[in-house]
Structure 1
């Protein structure tokens, strides 16, 4: 008989899946989002009771009610030289409010997992990482960007790939 895991009496941990969506691209050109499913599967296999907050899912659910309006308003930004937040289309103000809600959710989660492949920075991911870091949360960056000051400054641990992340979880790196 094995001893019970010391974490068994703790409430389920929450994980925020930060990661590149738009990155350095313009408009609606997004990066491959399959990493979200891979991270979710890795977490579910090791932390079945985990609460997983996926901004990709949150945004897709929000956009489902009016995707054409949001895309049209977002595309129209390319033609404007000067932007004032209070003059943005209603859909874009709602989208920026959603961004702020997501950064707060990153700060409220126990662990922020930031997926930053290659050397492409992501301003949204940096904001989520900073929010989680300032809230004293564990921030795990999965990236090769060890010399990026934002990544270095906001990460609790920097791991090179998904295998290293699963090893970190298996070793209990996410335990408080």
Structure 2
């Protein structure tokens, strides 16, 4: 506790990792609507003004912009029957390294917020949730998938929607 913090008060700065479906069950660069990231960020910063928000959507977009060969190399995977990681194009190996970096960032953040609307599972989100769970972090899942074993096993709390998430924040759920 720092001199500025009152006993029992939440830490001044907490970090939040925004896990959530990007590609899901889609192929290629067909992505799920990503506007949920902005909505989560706005909700967090309205209630936790000093929060650090780690958004893998932003990290991924910046990385892809800096590596223009990655998208065509990724698209070409659809035509290959067998893949060997060590034979992937260099930009694809770098992309897989970025994936691992993001799961490590989920584990390093204080709270992992997993956005999984409806009943569409996300393997990337599951990996991020597992990484955060194994690191002893708070994992908040915003989903209807209460019977999905990965969600049930890795979540500290499962909430049905954004309103329930903001109520949870307002109640101090992320500080316990």
Report the TM-score range of the alignment, normalised by the length of the smaller protein.
over 0.9
Shift of 1:5: 8.2
Shift of 1:64: 1.3
Q: Secondary structure at the residue paired with 2:32?
A: coil
Q: Secondary structure at the residue paired with 1:174?
A: helix
Q: Residue 169 of structure 1 aligns with which residue?
A: 169
Shift of 1:31: 0.2
Contact 2:64 2:71 (C-alpha < 8 Å) held by counterparts: no
1:93-140 Cα deviation digits (max 9, x unpaired):
010000000000000000000000000000000000000000000000
Q: Secondary structure at the residue paired with 2:26?
A: coil
**TM-score normalised by structure 1 residue count:** 0.94
Structure 1 position 74 matched with structure 2 position 78 = no
Q: Which runs of 5+ in 2 are unaligned?
A: 1-5
Structure 1 segments, 4+ long, off by >3 Å, are none
Distance 2:26 2:42 in 1: 27
Contact 2:18 2:55 (C-alpha < 8 Å) held by counterparts: yes
Structure 1 position 85 matched with structure 2 position 73 = no
Instruction: Give aligned pairs, total.
Output: 171
1:38-90 Cα deviation digits (max 9, x unpaired):
000000000000010000001111111123x1110000000111100010011
Q: Residue 48 of structure 1 aligns with which residue?
A: 49
Distance 1:65 1:7 in 2: 41
Distance 1:66 1:58 in 2: 12
Q: Which runs of 5+ in 1 are unaligned?
A: none
Q: Residue 109 of structure 1 aligns with which residue?
A: 109
Distance 2:12 2:167 in 1: 22
Contact 2:107 2:135 (C-alpha < 8 Å) held by counterparts: yes
Q: Residue 154 of structure 2 aligns with which residue?
A: 154
